[in-house]
Amino acid sequence: MTKPNLLELPSGVQLVYLAEGGANVIYRFVRKPGKLLRLRKETAADISYTEIVRNFDTIIRPLFNPEELVDQTLVRLPEGLIASCNEQLRTAELNGARPEKRHGSYLCLHEPFGLLITDMTTAGDPGTTLAELKPKWLNQSPSAPATAHRCRTCALRDMKNRESQLLGRKEQRSFCPLDLVSEQYENVLRATGSIKGCKDRSRLARILYRNPTLQRLQSLQKTERDVGLHGPAAQSREMSLAMTLRDCTMFVKIPHDERSSIEIRLGDLDLKTGAGGKAGYWRDLETRLIDQGWYRGSNISQNSGECALHSPRRPSQSYLA
């Protein structure tokens, strides 16, 4: 029986495919601006939206101000909607409209709910620009060597780039997240060179410099430091929260008119779990970064990006978790 206060989507609602990740597909409503609809894929973890919302409301929401979060609200789906969307996904595979790496994965037929989420796109609002970034590991990993010349993110980037190099694939550029929370404006400006979506780097740097949401996230990452090799059991709630806070996305919606207010929200804050081998993967990755010398910077190539932990041109700062 439907709860009296639970939202329901009307039958016949029209959706337009917007984007997708490994676990969800995002749709835009044809006649309902302001919110997007997120639908769950069939995955090995099989975590229901009811549980995802419960974790979000009880664990994540209290950590931030409401205006700092991409909000999500449970909504009951009309009968047949998921099957119809899956047919559209299959058609999109045939006509090349769906990314090839997403082929073969479809929406979960036994999930009765969707999530209404805050629309942080610029659709219908040509007067704005959207910058999108992953503010991972704003402090050094607590299990990194004391003599590290690379932060966690830069060490991992170097390792992945070496693997890409050996396979003849394109190497990835990324900013050093320690630069994002630097007290030096020029370091923040340097980081904006690898942030997609905003061509005005100096304006974006001014927005991010000492930004309260970034500072709050850094503080929470420092408090929730049960990561690396020395934390609690790999599948504990503490580890899950600590990893979730290090894998969220920051959306920065910037109006062209500098007098208008800027909207900054954090998304991708579903509580991470150690299920499906993820916990072991996190630990194994940290072990490789330590044992293979990636934290020490002993394997870096000429194309490696600059890291705040090792640059003769920067004043020293404390970045320990």
pLDDT reading at 18 higher than 80 = yes
Least confident of 160-164, 226-230, 283-287: 226-230
What's the confidence (pLDDT) of residue 227? 77
Greater model confidence, 84 or 173:
84
pLDDT reading at 277 higher than 50 = yes
Best mean pLDDT range from 216-220, 234-238, 257-261, 290-294: 216-220
Task: Say how far residue 131 (Cα) sits from the centre of its chain.
Answer: 13
Residue 144 tokens read as: 């990194």
In the chain, pLDDT over 70 holds for what percent of residues? 90
Greater model confidence, 229 or 178:
178
Among residues 44, 19, 15, 11, which one has the least CA distance to residue 274? 44
pLDDT reading at 303 higher than 70 = no
Least confident of 24-33, 106-115, 213-222, 259-268: 24-33
| Mean of per-residue pLDDT scores for the chain | 89
> Quick one: DSSP state of residue 319?
-
Q: Check: CB of residue 25 under 8 Å from CB of residue 38.
A: yes
Q: Residue 51 is which amino acid?
A: E
What's the confidence (pLDDT) of residue 51? 95
Mean pLDDT computed over 169-186: 93
**What distance in Å separates the CA atoms of residue 145 and residue 122, rounded to the nearest whole number?**
42
Bridge-based pairing state of the strands 263-267 and 249-255: antiparallel
pLDDT reading at 297 higher than 50 = yes
Residue 243 tokens read as: 């990893």
What's the confidence (pLDDT) of residue 276? 62
What's the confidence (pLDDT) of residue 275? 63
Q: Check: CB of residue 114 under 8 Å from CB of residue 84.
A: no
**What distance in Å separates the CA atoms of residue 48 and residue 40, rounded to the nearest whole number?**
8
Q: Check: CB of residue 184 under 8 Å from CB of residue 316.
A: no
Radius of gyration of the chain from its Cα atoms, rounded to whole angstroms = 21
Q: Which residue reads 């503490």 in tokens?
A: 238
Q: Which residue reads 């998304």 in tokens?
A: 267
Q: Which residue reads 């020490």 in tokens?
A: 296
Q: Residue 232 is which amino acid?
A: P
What's the confidence (pLDDT) of residue 315? 47
Mean pLDDT computed over 281-309: 83
**What distance in Å separates the CA atoms of residue 183 and residue 180, rounded to the nearest whole number?**
9
In the chain the domains, ranked by start, together with CATH numbers, are 7-118 (3.30.200.110), 128-291 (no CATH)
